[in-house]
Amino acid sequence: MPKNGIFRTARGYQLHLRGKKTLTPSMEDYLEMIYRNCRQEGFTRVNQLAESLNVQAPSVSRMVQRLTQLELLDFEKYGIVRLTQSGRELGEFLFHRHQVIEQFLSLLGVTDSLLMETEMIEHNISLTTLEKIARLNLFFQTNPEIYARLQEFEPRALDPLHFAWKDWLVTTREE
Ligand code: MN
């Protein structure tokens, strides 16, 4: 077996990890958005969540019920949703995780697909890797002269990444 693990398909890794994680990616998305929305007034509403996540209100209601069962939310009357203490702590982590990844991609120069790729990556990253990325972000922020050198760097060795079949992939290179 290779030292750093066994090969699986992406789906295989997801299934392998599923048993070890309490929250699904979808639950993480909701909790993060509830945290974002609650930052102003301390609460959010089912309708507001449906709008900010581009989903239907009945889907929000179902998810809010599941998260309430996990004691992460308090669901009050009139569609008002509040975070419990543990919900707030989890939401804050998810929010920071998002920021770290977005900042990292941003430092790399990603622009057009920044939000989409952050949303795709955040659910599939380990805490160890996240901490290493946060460290790199901080390194570039505190050493702007080194970051400037990265931006000037134009290697010729990227040719293998330029190929004819990119349309076969879901995400293509930014032009
Ligand atoms: Mn996110």
Which tens digit of pLDDT belongs to each residue from 87-122? Answer: 999 999 999 999 999 999 999 999 999 999 999 999
Centre of ligand 1 to C-alpha 62, Å, is 20
Find all residues with CB under 8 Å of 6, minimum gap 6, and list them.
Answer: none
What is the model's pTM?
Answer: 0.87
Neighbours of 29 (CB within 10 A): 19
122: amino acid identity, one letter:
E
Find all residues with CB under 8 Å of 112, minimum gap 6, and list them.
Answer: 174
Centre of ligand 1 to C-alpha 38, Å, is 15
What CATH number has the domain spanning 96-152? 1.10.60.10
Give the position of tokens 């301390």. 42
Centre of ligand 1 to C-alpha 99, Å, is 8
Strands (E) located in 21-142: 44-45, 73-75, 80-83
How far is Cα 110 from Cα 121, in angstroms, rounded to an integer?
13
Which tens digit of pLDDT belongs to each residue from 18-42? Answer: 778 889 999 999 999 999 999 989 9
